[in-house]
Structure 1
Amino acid sequence: MSTRSHAPLIRLARFKVEELQKQMAEIDRARAAIDDQIERLEESVPEEQAVASESREGFVAYGSYARSVIKRKENLRASREEVDVQAKGLRDRLEAAFSELKKYELLEERRLARIEESVRAAEQAEMDEIGARLRGVAH
């Protein structure tokens, strides 16, 4: 039974959780930015098709544009997959850090409950002693 406070461990574990949460938020922003880029590319295709159909030069140039859009979307999807893999690893680390924090908080709660119980027991023993003295005086 440890009588030392777990507060330093709790602070350290809480800091670790907060840092991992910040990293997770950055990954979420990166994923959203990639998704936004993909969406904008997909929205640009019909517009470019309409412009390309207006002239022969546009029609000829549209083929290379379409290939570049396809390649760019493939690259963005690959980047999103990499971000998703990083996010999974980070989620696992965050879950472990959160479990560690909860463990330390639970240990601290138990420690404080033991202290409180021992204080109550000491107070009760003192009250019992006072009661015994009073009974001794009354008899």
Structure 2
Amino acid sequence: MTRSHEPLIRLARFKVEELQKQMAEIDRARTSLNDQISRLEASVPEEQAEAAKSREGFLAYGSYAQAVIKRKENIRLSLAEVEGQADSIRSRLETAFQELKKYELLEERRLARIEAAVRSAEQAELDEIAQMRAARAH
């Protein structure tokens, strides 16, 4: 008989699970970066209101606004990098999942062949018993 595909299935399942974990980490990073952008954008009106209260605040606001713009650019660059990583992991995950399904299908076929062989052997045994009984009856 052919060997079991269980070790390959376990390995492929492990690969899929590891890639799913990496994808979850990427999703968390993406969410964190988007939250950072949202917080920066939310802080701008607050800072504008504070800046309007005094001349010093008004003068300092320009530097603050430039820093916010630069920070958002840096976060967006990080976000683009994370998206690239997500695309790579998504592709590897799809390949790993297809590999897992292939091994599972091979194992199902192997087990079906074994089951068919067992049924065939049982039927042959029953047929032999029936022939012996028929021969004794004559």
TM over 0.5: yes
The aligned counterpart of 2:106 is: 107
SS in 2 for 1:136: helix
* Letter of the 1:33 counterpart: S
Alignment of 1:47-66 (within 5 A): 47-66=46-65
Q: Distance in 2 between matches of 1:16 and 1:69?
A: 40
Deviation at 1:138, TM superposition (A): 0.8
Moved over 2 A (4+): none
Tell me the residue number matched to 1:74: 73
Runs of 5+ consecutive residues of structure 1 not aligned to the other structure: none
Q: State the partner residue of 1:136.
A: 135
Residue 131 of structure 2 aligns to a residue whose secondary structure is helix
SS of the residue corresponding to residue 5 of structure 1 reads coil
Distance 1:40 1:69 in 2: 10
- Note the residue ranges of structure 2 that are not aligned, 5 or more in a row: none
Q: Structure 1 length normalisation: TM-score?
A: 0.98
Query: What number of residue pairs does the alignment pair up?
Result: 138
Q: TM-score, normalised by structure 2?
A: 0.98
Q: Secondary structure of 1:4's match?
A: coil
- The Cα shift of 1:9 comes to 0.4
Q: Residue 36 of structure 1: SS of its match in structure 2?
A: helix
Give the share of equivalent positions with the same residue, in percent: 73
Structure 1: distance between partners of 2:135 and 2:2? 37
Q: Say what the alpha-carbon RMSD is for the aligned residues.
A: 0.7
